[in-house]
């Protein structure tokens, strides 16, 4: 009976064989989507300023009027707050803001709505 040969591995020198090229994998840098959100916040702030001058069209002007009736003159602080938060996102090392900053921003809007509404207590069209 004949002996079985052991399977030997050949080392390929790379000549004559076609190797399949693998496309490099690209990953988005950390914080990319947070930066995209920050840019969108700046765009929304610019559009909100346009609605102050009735240049936003029917839909945006309607949103502005709705916000005026809901939180009063604090509506004018929203673009300033959005730009501040967007710049803070860009300046942060991780492009992320703590949850307490977002919560404090909401509290600032509510406080401004209350502060602007105090002088108009008892009037037909309150501003807060």
Tell me what pLDDT residue 61 has. Answer: 92
pLDDT (average), residues 98-119: 92
Between CA 121 and CA 125 the distance in angstroms is 9
Contact 86, 46 (CB under 8 A): no
- Which pLDDT score is estimated for 56? 83
Of the two residues 66 and 26, the one the predictor is more confident about is: 66
Distance, in Å, from the CA atom of 112 to the CA atom of 100, rounded to the nearest integer, reads 18
* Model pLDDT, residue 31: 84
DSSP secondary structure letter of residue 128: -
Name the token pair of 75.
């509506």
By residue count, the chain amounts to 128
Instruction: Dump pLDDT digits (tens) for 5-64.
Output: 666 665 555 565 556 777 777 787 778 899 999 999 999 999 999 999 989 889 999 999
Q: Is the pLDDT of residue 94 over 80?
A: yes
Cβ-contact 126, 120 below 8 angstroms: yes
């Amino acid at each position: 009976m004949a002996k079985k040969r052991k399977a030997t591995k050949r080392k390929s020198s790379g000549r004559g064989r076609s190797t399949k090229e693998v496309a490099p994998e690209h990953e988005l840098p950390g914080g990319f989507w947070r930066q995209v959100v920050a840019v969108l916040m700046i765009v929304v702030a610019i559009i909100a300023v346009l609605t102050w001058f009735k240049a936003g069209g029917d839909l945006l002007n309607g949103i502005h009027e709705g916000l005026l009736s809901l939180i009063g003159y604090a509506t004018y602080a929203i673009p300033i707050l959005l730009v501040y938060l967007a710049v803070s996102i860009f300046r942060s090392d991780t492009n992320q803001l703590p949850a307490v900053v977002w919560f404090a921003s909401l509290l600032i809007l509510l406080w401004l709505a209350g502060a602007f509404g105090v002088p108009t207590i008892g009037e037909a069209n309150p501003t807060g």
